[in-house]
C-alpha cells in the first residue's frame, strides 16, 4: 500500500464499528477521572493512589491499541472485540513499559533540569495521545509563547523526541506485536532499523508527518465541536465527554491501524525472494 491508501483506509477504519469506539471511549472517560478529581500540578506532583489508578486503566487502553495493531498486521479488517481482559492488560503493560524506556533520552534531561517534572512524566505514560496533544498545544499556543514562558529547552528536547525517538518506538512496538508480543523484539534495534529501511525512510517519515497532521486536524475538529457545545449547553462535563468518548478513541484507532499498515508496507520481499 502507498501512503495515500494507508491514510484513507485508517481514516475509515474506526467507523466500521461505532459500538467499539464508545466502549473504548468509556474506558478513556474512566481514565480521565483522576484528572478531574485531582488536577496535575507540576510543582506539587500527583497523589500516588490516583497515579496508580491512571496507570492501570492506561494499560487497558494501550492493550487495545496493541490489539488493533496485531489484527491489522494479519490483514484483518474488523475492529477487535473487547475480550480476554487479562491479556489486554498484559499487552498494555508491555506497551507502557516500552514507551517509558524509549522516552528516557527525552525525559532524563528534562528531569535533570526540572525535578518536579518527575511526577508529570510518570503520570503520563500514554505517549501516543500525550505527544500528539503536546504537538497540538504547541501549534495552538504558538512557539513564541513557549519561548516566553521559559520552555525553550523543554521544547527543543521534546521536538527531538517527537522527530527521532518516538517514531522509532512506534516501529519497536509494532515489531513486538508482529512477534506474538515478545518483549525482546521491541529492542532489536538492528531489526527495527532494517524494517524502517525496508519501508523507506522518506516514506516512513512522510507517513508519520501525515498521520500527525490528520491527528492534529481531528483534535482541532474536537476543539471546535466542544466550543460549539459550550455555547449551546454550557455544561463542561458534557463537553469533555465528547472528547473522551469519541475524539480520543478515534485517534487511537486511526493511529494504530495506520501504524500497522505502514509496517506491513515494508514487506516487499521475503528472504526467499532476495535469493532469486
Nearest residue to 181 (alpha-carbon basis) of 70, 20, 75:
70
Q: What is the pLDDT of residue 53?
A: 74
Measure the CA–CA gap between 140 and 134, rounded to whole angstroms. 10
**214 contact partners, CB below 8 Å, separation of at least 6:** 7, 11, 254
Q: Is 57 left (phi over 0), alpha (psi -120 to 50) or beta?
A: alpha
pLDDT tens-digit series, residues 219-256: 888 878 777 776 666 665 666 677 788 888 999 999 99
Taking CA atoms, 236 is separated from 36, 109, 147, 171, 228, in Å, by: 11, 36, 30, 37, 12
Beta partners for 178? none
Q: What is the pLDDT of residue 37?
A: 54
Q: Is 168 left (phi over 0), alpha (psi -120 to 50) or beta?
A: alpha
Nine-digit cell at 8?
484513507
Q: What is the pTM of this model?
A: 0.77
Within the chain, which residues score under 50 in pLDDT? Answer: 38-47, 114-150, 269-276
Measure the CA–CA gap between 40 and 45, rounded to whole angstroms. 7
Nine-digit cell at 275?
535469493
SS3 45: strand
Q: What is the pLDDT of residue 124?
A: 46
- The torsion of the CA quartet 148, 150, 156, 158, rounded to 10 degrees, works out to -110
Q: What is the pLDDT of residue 141?
A: 43
Whether 174 and 261 have beta carbons less than 8 Å apart is answered as: no
Q: What is the pLDDT of residue 36?
A: 56
Amino acid at each position: 500500500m502507498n501512503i495515500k491508501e494507508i491514510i484513507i483506509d485508517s481514516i475509515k477504519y474506526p467507523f466500521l464499528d461505532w459500538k467499539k469506539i464508545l466502549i473504548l471511549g468509556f474506558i478513556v472517560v474512566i481514565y480521565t477521572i483522576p484528572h478531574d478529581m485531582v488536577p496535575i500540578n507540576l510543582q506539587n506532583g500527583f497523589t500516588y493512589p490516583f497515579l496508580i489508578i491512571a496507570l492501570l486503566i492506561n494499560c487497558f487502553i494501550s492493550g487495545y491499541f496493541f490489539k488493533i495493531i496485531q489484527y491489522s498486521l494479519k490483514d484483518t479488517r474488523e475492529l477487535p472485540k473487547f475480550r480476554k481482559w487479562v491479556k489486554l492488560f498484559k499487552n498494555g503493560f508491555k506497551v507502557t513499559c516500552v514507551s517509558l524506556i524509549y522516552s528516557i533520552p527525552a525525559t532524563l534531561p528534562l528531569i535533570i533540569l526540572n525535578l518536579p517534572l518527575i511526577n508529570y512524566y510518570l503520570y503520563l505514560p500514554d505517549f501516543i495521545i500525550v505527544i500528539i496533544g503536546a504537538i497540538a498545544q504547541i501549534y495552538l499556543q504558538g512557539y513564541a509563547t513557549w519561548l516566553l514562558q521559559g520552555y525553550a529547552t523543554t521544547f527543543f528536547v521534546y521536538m527531538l523526541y517527537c522527530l527521532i525517538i518516538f517514531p522509532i518506538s512506534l516501529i519497536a512496538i509494532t515489531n513486538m506485536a508482529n512477534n506474538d508480543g515478545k518483549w525482546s523484539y521491541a529492542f532489536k534495534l538492528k531489526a527495527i532499523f532494517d524494517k524502517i529501511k525496508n519501508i523507506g525512510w522518506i516514506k516512513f517519515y512522510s507517513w508519520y508527518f501525515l498521520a500527525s497532521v490528520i491527528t492534529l486536524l481531528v483534535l482541532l475538529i474536537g476543539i471546535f465541536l466542544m466550543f460549539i457545545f459550550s455555547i449551546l449547553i454550557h455544561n463542561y462535563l458534557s463537553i469533555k465527554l465528547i472528547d473522551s468518548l469519541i475524539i480520543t478513541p478515534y485517534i487511537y484507532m486511526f493511529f494504530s491501524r495506520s501504524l500497522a499498515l505502514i509496517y506491513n508496507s515494508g514487506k516487499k520481499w521475503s528472504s526467499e525472494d532476495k535469493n532469486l
